[in-house]
C-alpha cells in the first residue's frame, strides 16, 4: 500500500511539474495555431463544396485526408512535447541533485521511475485526447465530417505517445535531457519515413523495399500505431477512390487496420523498454 501511495504521489507531482514547464506553453500555442489554420483550411473545403466545385463525396474524401494530415501534425507536437518533458524527468533531476534528495529516503528507484512514467503518460494522453477531440469538432463544424472510429483513433495516438515517452525515459537514464529528446524525436521521424518508403515499395510490388517499413514498425511501433489511427480517422471511400491497396503509397492513407497481434507487440515493447529504463536507472550513479 505504501509503495502504491508513493507511486501515485510521484505521478501527481510529475504531472504538476510538467504543467509548470515552458514546454507546455509551447505545446498550447502550437496546438492553437494548428487548430486555427486547420479550421480555415476546412472552411475553404466547405466553401468549395457549397459552390459546387466539389461534390459532397469529394468534399468528404478531401476532409478525410486533410484530417489525417492535421492529426499527424498533432502527433508530431505530442512527440516533441513528451520527448522533451521525459528528458529532464530523470537526467535533469539527477544533474541538479533533486533525485539524490528524494532517493535518500526509503523509496525504491523503480517506484520513482514508475511514478514519473505514469505522470508523463497522464499528461501526454490528456493532451492527445483533448487536442484530437478539438480537431474533430472543428472538422464537424466546418465540413460536417465525423471520423468513423474516433475513440479507437485517439486511443492509438495515445499509445503512440506512450511508446515515444517510454523510449525518451530510457534515453534520459543514459544521456543528457536535450540529447534524449533529440534522439527520441529523430527516431520517431526516421520510423515514419521508413514506413512511407515501405508503403511505396508495397504499392510497387517490391518486397525488399516494403520490408523496410515492416522492420521499422517492429523496432519502434510509433508508425504502426499511427497507421492504425489513420485507418480509424479516414472515410472508407478513400481506399476505393485511390485504388485499394495501391493507395498505400499515399502517406496519409492507411490500407489495413491494425491486428491484435501488433497491438500486443506494442504493449510488450513498452514493457521491455520500461524494464531496460528501470535497470539503467538502478545502476545510475547519483
For residues 142 and 41, the answer to whether their CB atoms sit within 8 Å is no
Q: Is the model more confident about 239 or about 16? A: 16
Residue 136's pLDDT is what?
A: 92
Hey, CA dihedral for 173, 176, 179, 181, is it positive or negative?
positive
The reported pLDDT for the residue numbered 97 is: 47
- Its sign, for the CA torsion 159, 222, 74, 145, is negative
pLDDT tens digits for 2-60? Answer: 678 878 888 887 788 777 777 778 888 888 999 999 999 888 877 776 655 666 667 77
Q: What are the helix (H) ranges across 98-144?
A: 98-103, 109-143
Among 181, 152, 163, CA closest to 117 = 163
Burial class (CB in 10 A: 0-12, 13-18, 19+), 106: exposed
Note the pLDDT tens digit of each residue in 193-220.
998 888 888 878 888 888 998 899 999 9
Cell numbers for 209, please give them. Answer: 523495399
Query: Cα separation of 141 and 172, whole Å?
Result: 42
pLDDT, tens only, 71-101:
998 888 888 888 878 777 665 555 544 544 4
| Contact indicator for 116, 14 with CB cutoff of 8 Å | yes
> Where are any strands of DSSP class E within 99-243?
none
Domain ranges of the chain: 2-283
Q: How many CB atoms lie within 10 A of CB 283?
A: 9
Cα(269)–Cα(261) distance, rounded to whole angstroms? 12
Task: Specify the pLDDT at position 18.
Answer: 74
Query: Which of 278, 279, 269 lies closest to 191, judged by CA?
Result: 269
Torsion angle, alpha carbons of 198, 204, 207, 213, to 10 = 10
Q: Cell numbers at residue 272, please? A: 521491455
Amino acid at each position: 500500500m505504501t509503495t502504491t501511495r508513493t507511486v501515485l504521489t510521484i505521478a501527481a507531482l510529475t504531472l504538476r511539474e510538467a504543467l509548470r514547464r515552458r514546454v507546455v506553453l509551447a505545446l498550447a500555442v502550437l496546438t492553437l495555431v494548428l487548430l486555427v489554420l486547420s479550421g480555415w483550411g476546412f472552411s475553404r473545403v466547405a466553401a468549395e463544396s457549397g459552390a459546387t466545385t466539389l461534390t459532397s463525396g469529394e468534399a468528404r474524401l478531401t476532409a478525410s485526408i486533410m484530417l489525417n494530415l492535421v492529426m499527424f501534425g498533432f502527433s508530431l507536437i505530442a512527440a516533441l512535447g513528451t520527448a522533451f518533458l521525459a528528458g529532464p524527468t530523470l537526467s535533469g533531476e539527477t544533474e541538479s541533485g533533486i533525485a539524490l534528495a528524494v532517493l535518500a529516503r526509503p523509496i525504491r528507484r523503480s517506484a520513482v521511475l514508475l511514478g514519473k512514467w505514469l505522470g508523463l503518460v497522464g499528461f501526454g494522453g490528456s493532451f492527445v485526447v483533448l487536442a484530437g477531440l478539438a480537431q474533430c469538432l472543428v472538422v464537424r463544424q466546418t465540413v460536417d465530417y465525423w471520423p468513423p472510429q474516433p475513440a479507437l483513433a485517439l486511443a492509438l495516438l495515445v499509445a503512440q505517445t506512450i511508446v515515444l515517452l517510454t523510449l525518451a525515459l530510457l534515453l534520459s537514464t543514459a544521456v543528457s535531457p536535450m540529447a534524449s529528446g533529440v534522439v527520441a524525436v529523430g527516431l520517431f521521424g526516421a520510423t515514419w519515413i521508413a514506413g512511407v518508403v515501405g508503403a511505396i515499395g508495397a504499392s510497387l510490388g517490391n518486397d525488399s523495399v516494403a520490408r523496410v517499413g515492416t522492420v521499422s514498425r517492429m523496432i519502434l511501433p510509433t508508425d504502426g500505431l499511427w497507421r492504425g489511427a489513420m485507418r480509424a480517422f479516414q472515410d472508407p471511400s478513400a481506399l476505393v477512390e485511390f485504388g485499394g491497396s495501391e493507395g498505400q503509397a499515399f502517406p496519409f492513407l492507411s490500407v489495413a487496420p491494425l491486428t491484435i497481434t501488433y497491438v500486443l507487440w506494442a504493449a510488450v515493447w513498452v514493457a521491455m523498454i520500461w524494464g531496460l529504463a528501470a535497470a539503467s536507472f538502478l545502476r545510475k550513479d547519483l
